[in-house]
């Protein structure tokens, strides 16, 4: 199976079907996905992260907006269409991932996710938080 198809399987199983056991079958045990936190995220950390996100939203669809596949590497920008669990309000999230596969498992991953906008849309941060920070305004009370 191509790396791109494996990555789509990852998003479908883990995020849409909420099959968190798929993390252990699609990640290698020693992987440390980079870019989501200030430290590498291994399979157990990723499970906790996924549980925290899925406690807030239901992921309806993940679209690959752009994709580049080169050998065992794949790079994708994506849009995740979600709805809040609280009131079913639509919330989209964008990000990108670069991942390397070996034996149909992710062995290396680099992520960039627009969590700032995502949390603004969930109502956890004020609107235009980035603009406020860039102007020197704080967003904390």
In this prediction, residue 41 carries a pLDDT of: 80
In this prediction, residue 87 carries a pLDDT of: 93
- Is 51 in a helix, a strand, or coil? helix
Largest Cα–Cα distance in the chain? 50
Average the pLDDT over 114-136 and give the result. 92
Average the pLDDT over 11-27 and give the result. 94
Interatomic CA distance for residues 99 and 110, integer angstroms: 6
In this prediction, residue 141 carries a pLDDT of: 52
Q: Which residue has the higher pLDDT, 136 or 38?
A: 136
In this prediction, residue 31 carries a pLDDT of: 86
Q: Which residues contact 72 (CB under 8 A, 6 or more apart)?
A: 3, 100, 101, 102
8 Å CB contact between 36 and 49: yes
The H or E element that residue 131 is part of is: helix 129-134
Q: Model's pTM, two decimal places?
A: 0.87
Interatomic CA distance for residues 71 and 104, integer angstroms: 13
- pLDDT tens-place string over residues 39-79: 778 889 889 999 999 999 999 999 999 999 999 999 999 99
């Amino acid at each position: 199976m191509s790396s791109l198809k494996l990555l789509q399987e990852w998003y479908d199983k883990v995020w849409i079907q909420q099959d968190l056991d798929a993390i252990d079958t699609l990640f290698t045990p020693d992987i440390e996905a980079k870019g989501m936190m200030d430290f590498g995220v291994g399979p157990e950390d990723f499970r906790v992260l996924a549980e925290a996100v899925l406690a807030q939203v239901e992921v309806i669809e993940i679209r690959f907006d752009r994709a580049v596949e080169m050998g065992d590497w794949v790079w994708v920008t994506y849009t995740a269409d979600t709805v809040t669990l609280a009131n079913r309000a639509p919330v989209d999230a964008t990000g990108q991932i670069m991942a390397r596969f070996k034996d149909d498992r992710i062995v290396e991953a680099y992520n960039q996710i627009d969590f700032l906008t995502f949390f603004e849309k969930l109502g956890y941060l004020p609107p235009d938080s980035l603009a406020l920070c860039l102007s020197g305004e704080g967003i904390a009370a």
